[in-house]
Structure 1
């Protein structure tokens, strides 16, 4: 059996699809199933059992001998949330319990970290674990992911294989439930579809023109391929970046979304909201060499390819992966 936590969410449900595609069907999905995510994101997938996240550790104690692998993707991901107690409960302490269970039962583990751990990027975006303690996240969400990464590296007891994946700006099908935390591409599609226009944040940094802010946008289909690769590799434990490896501007994103929708380009710039302005990242770009060094050589979707696939195969037909 393979366990996926956060399975009803964005990346988790896409991973279940990827596993099903190669006939991995004995999947235990773990999540808070009180929302519509389950009905939409997991509809039609081959799943052995649904386990509520609050019941998971009791279930694992009884069934660990049958578990082959754990993907821990469940988390509170709202970057505007300021209640540290929520992040301590769901992102830090829950993850520690999963780590300790994997150590006790010797189950290999892949868990979700985040590029938010890099903060403003003053030390760059290199997944060298030696510099990890020096990073300074900009929000409580990034802090929670960073605290767990640091805790992991301090542990003497480890699963025989583990990997933490620092997700950059992931976009793609099945993110529809995420509201304001969904990708810019998703919001761009909806704005263009509704109004024929797109609003982008104005730059408040002297080194960046409006729309020239850059992010590492990575398609969810690439993310789940890396997860699948690591499940089979089961060596070279560590913390890895998971982005496309190429920073692209929001103007690039906008132009490609308009093009994929066969719409004329109409862009308005609005002030970045004060609540996020001071903590806004103007540049992110994953150094992907470490992952390449362990054998992942599959090419990633370009931004053009990813947006076209997302818009024309999923958003426009209103489909789930």
Structure 2
């Protein structure tokens, strides 16, 4: 990993900038950063898909360059009616609220919608990259290895994680049966943070919450540990900067388009940094981004999430490295520093 955050998202090299790319979740956090990244690399023939009626998300997408905007529920009708060739689908749209316990909502948006997308890409021979989640790993009893053998045994802690794992299981089974897009990857996102998450409220990153708490009262509240094997604030997560996430996706997309992604590479991939860090480290980096001394207060964890809380996550990144991705990831200090200084201080968007 590197201590120097990369502020310029542009990558060098030859690209098929004429490609028509669908990006779902394009008004959301990671999706809008993905669209900005593509724009900065010369891609403008983009089909943005999301629920665009949510006013809080408008600043995420209104300045982006694209050729079409399609409401989420209209996408498959739009695809049936269009004569445009679609070159790649980047499916990042999902219901990501881990405190939403109505599984029917997750089933509709995270499972069935993704099945429809998979089936379309398989029928039309279109490469597909989709968002899974580290929430599929549950409490981590079986580790954090992105192999296909373990997914049937995973026990996610909430309906969101269950829905993501159900689709992963279905996708792997479909692929084994020979019904799959020509190239595909399911990315198990770990704790992604960065600009354009301002609309997420309770589900925004701890950095976003810490920054706002510091502005309000000069201190940050962190959850106490409710397990004897973890000290307060020393719960560990694999925090990954969104700028690193979109680079990985672009690399996969380019590999799939230029013939560098053979069928043997299809499958599930972890997307973290491979290094777990404590919440204290995270908050200290946030204070450092504001040139302030840390002031942390510990509070009890809400009971509604206490028995569904991950105390440790750390992505095994070897599979992605073996697939050919060689770029370093930002350290926690570099990524948080860039986010705080470059975006949060001025409430700037990527």
Question: TM exceeds 0.5?
Answer: yes
Please say if 1:243 is aligned against 2:272.
yes
Distance 2:276 2:170 in 1: 29
- The structure 2 residue matched to 1:215, chosen from 213, 229, 237, is 237
| TM-fit CA distance, 1:64 | 6.2
Q: Does the Cα contact within 8 Å between 1:169 and 1:243 map onto a contact in 2?
A: yes
| TM-fit CA distance, 1:63 | 2.8
- The structure 2 residue matched to 1:256, chosen from 266, 270, 285, is 285
Q: Where in structure 2 are the equivalents of 1:66-145 lying within 5 Å?
A: 66-145=85-164
Count the aligned residue pairs. Answer: 321
- The structure 2 residue matched to 1:224, chosen from 243, 246, 249, is 246
Aligned to 1:319: 348
Aligned to 2:214: 192
* Alignment gaps of 5+ in structure 2: 1-19
Please say if 1:183 is aligned against 2:201.
no
Please say if 1:52 is aligned against 2:52.
no
TM-score normalised by structure 2 residue count: 0.91
Q: Where in structure 2 are the equivalents of 1:19-30 lying within 5 Å?
A: 19-30=38-49
Aligned to 1:4: 23
SS in structure 2 at match of 1:191: helix
SS in structure 2 at match of 1:190: helix
Distance 1:101 1:206 in 2: 49
* 1:160–1:65 distance in 2 versus 1, CA, 3 Å: farther
Q: Does the Cα contact within 8 Å between 1:202 and 1:270 map onto a contact in 2?
A: yes
| CA-based RMSD | 0.9
TM-score normalised by structure 1 residue count: 0.99
Q: Does the Cα contact within 8 Å between 2:50 and 2:72 map onto a contact in 1?
A: yes
Distance 1:131 1:160 in 2: 24
Aligned to 1:310: 339
| TM-fit CA distance, 1:43 | 2.6
* 1:5–1:145 distance in 2 versus 1, CA, 3 Å: same
SS in structure 2 at match of 1:176: coil
Aligned to 1:16: 35
Runs of 4+ in 1 over 3 A off after TM superposition: none
Please say if 1:292 is aligned against 2:314.
no
Distance 1:261 1:199 in 2: 17
SS in structure 1 at match of 2:335: helix
Q: Does the Cα contact within 8 Å between 2:233 and 2:280 map onto a contact in 1?
A: yes
List per-residue Cα deviations over 1:206-256 (Å, max 9, x = no partner): 100001100000000000001100001122111000001100001101111
Please say if 1:266 is aligned against 2:295.
yes
Aligned to 1:205: 227
